[in-house]
Amino acid sequence: MDPSGFYTVVDHTADLGIELEGADKAEVFTSAALAMFDVMYGLETISEGEVRTIEVKAESDDELLVAWLNELLYIHAVESLLFARFTDAAFSEGKFRAVGHGERFNPERHNGAFEIKAATYHRLLLERQGGRWKARVIFDV
């Protein structure tokens, strides 16, 4: 279990996985993103001075989750943005949109433990179980 308690790190050969659950799909999507940034930098090191609306499209919910995480990794790689919170998360016909709150990478404060290259489809899980949504994502590191 991670120090924050909202996700579990899953051992996986040469990769890193997380498992989490939420009351709804939007909570799972935003929690997966937060877990990703927490693993990479620690959420406590990221302030919330910058705000960005992020939207992704895909054919299925599984593909949407992977697209969401990979879009955040792309934004991080190209614009050096890190996110510590998401608000206004919403789904509409093949789309997911949320507002990210974060800041630009600062090497003096953001000492990354893991470099995550991509979210993968390997062992991907997104399903409703007993009134809650559960997810598992394996990252290429």
pLDDT for the residue numbered 18? 95
Residue 89 belongs to domain spanning = 11-140
Task: Name beta bridge partners: 18.
Answer: 9, 137
pLDDT for the residue numbered 42? 93
Q: What is the CATH number of the domain that holds 119?
A: 3.55.10.10
In a domain, 102, yes or no: yes
pTM: 0.90
pLDDT in tens, 87-113: 999 999 999 999 999 999 999 889 876
Check if the beta carbon of residue 112 is closer than 8 Å to that of residue 40. Answer: yes
pLDDT for the residue numbered 66? 98
Which residue numbers in the chain have pLDDT < 50? 1
Structural domain count, the chain: 1
